[in-house]
Amino acid sequence: MISPLAYIDPEAKIGKDCEIGAFAYIDKNVVIGDNCEIMPHASVLYGTRMGNNNKVFHGAVIGGVPQDLKFKGEDTTCEIGDNNTIRENVTINRGTASRGKTVVGSNNLFMENSHIGHDCIIGNGCIIGNSSKIAGEVVIDDNAILSACVLVHQFCHIGGYIMVQGGCRSSMDIPPYIIVGREPARYCGLNIVGLRRRGFSNETITNIRNAYRLIYESDNNVSTGLAKIKETIPMTPEIEYIVNFIEKQSERGIIG
């Protein structure tokens, strides 16, 4: 299952039943779990910690040195969970002294030529579209979908269950459950199709819609909208997530 033409450093730790193709490069200080497939010409570099059942396609580079001039060679990691699909020419950089690690959860799809910068934290069940670029220290919550050619500014926070339309760029935080589009990126309504696919009830979707109407579709400013949400909408976990995201987790401010 391991090609004789692959390079595997003697210090690397490879799990059971892995398949490693010709001209793949596995660096020292790398740990790869069970049942992973590293395809030809893929590189898994220093500091990578990979779980089980991951597929890394041709030309991908995992754990590359951060593209950050402040990086001085510190010993950092790139931590990948389970069941991820990392397509052709994807790059995922390891961390810097800022956080010490880049973290990718499980069950994600990174489409061809996408990039995850240093110190990012990517949740579970996300889709990052072709040629989308995620700058350093971005946080993306679970089940977010970014279409092709999306650009995300450093330090942004993207909420869960969102859909960002292709070609968007954002330098602001994106709260959960919504669709984002246009240029510059703007709120374009609720991600109703995505929520229904994830099993959200009609009542829950209605409450989420009403919450965002108070923030985006009225004359309220954000602070007034949040106050009215607390007064008028049942504080379910979904509504609490929205309120906490905007009040406590958003440092750059949310998109308009």
Are 64 and 93 a contacting pair, CB within 8 Å? Answer: yes
Q: Cα–Cα distance between 104 and 109 in angstroms, integer?
A: 11
Can you give the length of the chain in residues?
256
Cis peptide upstream of residue 237 (ω within 30 degrees of 0): no
Catalytic machinery residues: 118-119, 136
